Amino acid sequence: EDKVVQSPLSLVVHEGDTVTLNCSYEVTNFRSLLWYKQEKKAPTFLFMLTSSGIEKKSGRLSSILDKKELFSILNITATQTGDSAVYLCAVSNTGNQFYFGTGTSLTVIP
Amino acid sequence: NAGVTQTPKFRILKIGQSMTLQCAQDMNHNYMYWYRQDPGMGLKLIYYSVGAGITDKGEVPNGYNVSRSTTEDFPLRLELAAPSQTSVYFCASRQGDRGYTFGSGTRLTVV
């Protein structure tokens, strides 16, 4: 059965901390892994990863994919209160089916 | 298995045709959502519902309608299909502060 598992389910940190969010998957015919940030209603796209070992970076956020071990991590350095959100991981296969994790809820307190 | 079921998985429509995308969840979740995802873009919210009998517009509701007569079902209707509605559609549900559960998507092409 294809599935995506995110951990931890929730996380509370102080401003300035660094956090690592995990996403592991078992999806046949993998095509890509996507990270989203959901603050209010609609998730916003962060990264799409297709190749192992190549880090994608955007400001304080970075992500990397390990296709051998079937996981990805999302790092956020120097966290700010505006980083508080649910972070979703999704994996697509070559048949254009998407499998979502249930998300990691991050709360950053001042 | 418990979860969100979307049907169909794929569909091709002609311009002006109508169709309904079905979404059902068996987890007794109150919140349900319809999103569309265009290539290279994030998910955009079309409509959402906080419970049976209650629906509200999201970011991109034009050209779509929804209903929520039961907790389990949240169908999305396209009345007059347009090429701009070519996209991948996701249904999702959520309960309180727990995580989202997404369906596997419906790929719609309007020609």
Closest Cβ–Cβ partner in B9, B58, B98 for A42 = B58
Q: Are A102 and B101 within 8 A, CB to CB?
A: yes
Confidence at A2, pLDDT banded by 50, 70, 90: confident
Residues of B in Cβ contact (< 8 Å) with A99: 102, 104
Contact A4, A88 (CB under 8 A): no
Q: Which residue of A has its CA nearest to B45?
A: A42
Residue B81 pLDDT > 60: yes
Edge-to-edge order in the sheet of strand B64-66: B4-7, B19-25, B76-78, B64-66
Residues of A in Cβ contact (< 8 Å) with B42: 36, 42-45
Closest Cβ–Cβ partner in B42, B45, B99 for A36 = B42
For residues A19 and A13, give the distance between their C-alpha atoms in angstroms, rounded to a whole number: 8
Q: Please give the average per-residue pLDDT across A41-69, as a whole number.
A: 89
pLDDT of B22-40, one tens digit each?
A: 999 999 999 899 999 876 5
CATH number at residue B100: 2.60.40.10
The DSSP output letter for A83 is: G
For residues A26 and A91, give the distance between their C-alpha atoms in angstroms, rounded to a whole number: 9
Domains of chain A as residue ranges with CATH: 3-109 (2.60.40.10)
Share of chain B above pLDDT 90, in %: 65
Number of domains in chain B: 1
Residue B97 pLDDT > 60: no
| Helix, strand, coil % in chain B, rounded to nearest 5 | 5, 50, 45
Confidence at B98, pLDDT banded by 50, 70, 90: low
Residue B89's pLDDT is: 93
Residue B16's pLDDT is: 96
Q: Please give the average per-residue pLDDT across B8-18, as a whole number.
A: 95
Residue B96 pLDDT > 80: no
Residue A59's pLDDT is: 96
The reply to whether A80 touches chain B by the CB within 8 Å rule is no
Q: Which residue of A has its CA nearest to B48?
A: A41
Residue A14 pLDDT > 80: yes
Give the structural domain span for B47. Answer: 4-110
Residue B53's pLDDT is: 95
